Structure 1
Amino acid sequence: MKILVINSGSSSIKYQLFEMATTAVLCSGLVERIGLETGSITHKVFDDNGNAEKHSLKLTIPDHKVGLSEVVKLLTDDKIGVIADPTEVSAVGHRVVHGGEYFNETTLITPEVEAKIEEVIPLAPLHNPANLQGIKVCTEIFSDAKQVAVFDTAFHQTMPERAYRYAIPEHLYQEFGIRSYGMHGTSHKYVSRETIKYLGLEGKESRIITIHLGNGCSMSAVKDGKCIDTSMGFSPLDGLIMGTRSGDIDPAVIFFLEEKLNMTPPEIYDLLNKKSGMLGVTGDSDMRDIESRFIEGDEAAKRGLDMYTYRIRKYIGAYMAALNGLDAIVFTAGVGENDAGARRLTMQGLENLGIKLDLERNNVRPADITEIQSDDSKIKILITPTNEELEIAQQAMSVI
C-alpha cells in the first residue's frame, strides 16, 4: 500500500510517498513559491538503501493544482518515477493544523469534515485555508484515493478542562471556542509513544514530558500516553520562546503597544509572531548562529539563550507537578535533536529534582532513541527523533 503525505502551506507543498509494507520513503519533495513569477520544485527519489537522488525544477506555479499536477508528473516519470499511475496511491494523508473541538482523532475526509475545517479557519487563519486547499486539489487529482485528515490539535484533546480553559467569561468559550488547543500534536504523539515503547511502559503507568524544539517550540505533559497539558494555547504563539514568536507574554503589553505606540492589531500580531522570540532578543532566529555568538561571548546571545532555556525549565517544573512525578524528559525536532548546547543549558540547575545530564552522552546527533542522562539521574533524559510524516502515513493507514 502506498500513502502520500501532504503538508500544504499558503505558497508551498511538502510531500512524501511511503510504501507502507516497509514504511520506506519512495520519494519526497517541496513545491515552493506558488503564485509567484518563478516557482520551484525540489524532488528526491530514494533507493533501497535510503540514498537520495535529487532533482530540481524552476517553473511557473500559479496555484496548488498546478503544483500537485507537476508532482504527479515526477511521481510517474518514465525515468525517475516511483509509480506508474496516480491510482497506485491508496490514500493521501493531510496535515491539518486546527480541528477545533470537533476532531480528537484522525478522520476520513468527507464534505462534512471539509465544512468543519473551514468553520474553524478563524482559529488558524494562516494555516487551515492552505490545508483545505490541499485537500480539495488532492481529492480531484487523486480521485481514487481516500483523503485523510490528521490534526495537529487532536492529540491535545485529552486535556482536562482545568488545563484547557481560560479564566474569561463563559460565553466566550461557549460561543467562540476560546480555549487552549495546543499544536505540534502529531510530533508529541509520535515521540511520546515511541519513548513509552522504548522504556517498556506500554500498558503501564507512565509520565513523560516531551519537548519539541524547532523554529516553533512546544512542550507537552503526557500521562499514560495521553496529553494532560501543553504549552501552546489558543494559537501557536503561546508558551515557550521560539525563533520569531514571543511565547508567554502579559496581555497588557498588547494594549500598551496599541495605546502608547499607536500600533494596529495586525502590526502587533506581526510583531509577536514574526519579529519577537530569539530574533527579537538577539537579532537572529537560527540557533546555530546564536550559539556561535554565545561561544564568542556575545551578550545578546547569552541573554537570549538564558531566557530560552529558563522558560523550558519553568515548564518542566510545572509539568512535573501536573504529572505528580516523572519518568522521562524527551527532546525532539530540529533543535531538540541536534543542538547539544541547547540541551545542556536547558538541563542546568535541575539536579535537585533528580534530573542530571551526562555531558559526554549529550554530545550526539542520534538517528535513533538515545539516553543522555547520567548514571545517577533519577529521571531519564532522551533524544527521540520525530517523524511527523510517518506518523501521518500510519494514522492514515489505520483509518482506511
Structure 2
Amino acid sequence: MRPPVIEAIKIENYRALQDVEIKKLKPFTVLIGPNGSGKSTLFDVFAFMETAFSLGVRSAWDQRGGLRQLHSRGKDGPIAIQISYREQPKANLLTYRIEINEERGRPVVSREWLRWTAGAAQGRPRHILDFQNGSGYVVDESTGKKSQESLDGPDRLAVNALGQFKSHPRVAALRRFISGWYLSYLSVAEERKSPTAGPQERLSQSGDNISNVLQYLKENYPERLTSVMAALREAVPTLEHVDYETSPDGRLVLFIKDSPFTESVLASNASDGTLKLLSYLTLLHDPDPAPFIGIEEPENHLYNSVLPGLAQQCRLSSGHSQVLVTTHSHEFVNSCKSDEVIALYRGADGYSRVIRPNSLPLVSDMLEHGALLGSLWQENYFDELPEPKTPVIEVSRP
C-alpha cells in the first residue's frame, strides 16, 4: 500500500512565495527555473513542514530566522501552507492548512485545520480538526462527536498532539506522513567519513551514514544492495564493486574498486560523483522508503550522461514514494515528461509565479514534433510573460 500523495500545495507569504498555488502535482515532480526564482524556497517549505512535525514549530521557525526572514516583504497576513492529498489513489481528498504569526519573537499557530472532502453526494467538506491559537475542536471519527481541546501553548501543532490517539486515525496518518518526509542535503565531505560500525535503516540527510546503510542492506536486504550496485555500475562502467570493512577501532571504512585495478581505494579517495550517485541510489532503493523524498540539485558533482538514468530511477521510485527534485540541468529535464515539470519565475512584483510547460500550446506542439523538454527550457520557451496592456489615453476634444 503506497503512502499518501500530495496533489496540490498553496503557500502564502513565505519569502518569494507570496501567493503560489500548484495543482495536479505528480508522484514525480521536477522544479526548474533560474537562480532566485523560488525553487529552493519551495523545497524549503517541505523541509519547514517536516521539521515542524518532527522537532516542533519553534525549531523550524528559529532555524530560518523567524518572521523577519520568512515573511514576504511588504505583505500582510500570516505565513500559510496548505496541502491537499489522498491517503490512497481513489480515497476522498484531505486538505491540511497551517497559518503562523509571531508574537514577542515566538511563533504562534494562529490557525490549523484538517478538512475531509467527501463525494459530491455527501455534501460540503467537513472539518476533522480546527484550532486557533492553541484551542479548538477535533472530531472523533468513530462517533462523529466534537470535543474541545487546548494545547500546552500556541506554538504547538494540534495534529502532533491529537495524532497519537487511535480515535483520530486520519489525524494520526497525517502526523506519520509529514514527520516521515526525507529532504536530502547530501554532502560529499560527510559521505567520506568513517562512522561507527552498526547497521542503520535510513540514510541521513547529509549522507554521513552511507556505510551503515550499506551494512544494513547487505545483512537484511541483499537483493536491494545488488540492485543499487547494478544501477551504479550501469552509470559508472569502470566500477567493479563497493564494500566496507570494520577498522580496529570499530568504525566502518568504505572501499571502492574500479575494474582495471586489483586494489580498492578508500572512499576518501573516490570521485565525488561516484559517492553522490551511490547515496542517491541507496536512498531510492530503500526497502522501507520515506513517503515523500526531496532532492535538491542532484546534478552537482555528476556527469551529464548520468542524469537521464537518475531521472528514470526517481520516476521508478515514485511508484512507492512521492519524489520532488529541483534542478538546473537541461539534461535531467530532457528525461522528464511535460506534466512532471513545474517552472518558477519571478514576476514584475518580485514574487514567484508558476508556469506549467504542458499548458503552453507552443511547447506542446514542439514536443509532438520531436523537441526535447530541457532544450526548450534552455531556449526560454517556458518564460511567457503576459502581454502588457496598452494604456488607454483619453484626448479631450475642443
Shorter-chain TM-score above 0.5: no
* Higher relative contact order (CA closer than 8 Å, sequence separation 6+): 2
TM score, norm. by length of structure 1? 0.28
TM score, norm. by length of structure 2? 0.28
Larger strand proportion, structure 1 or 2? 2
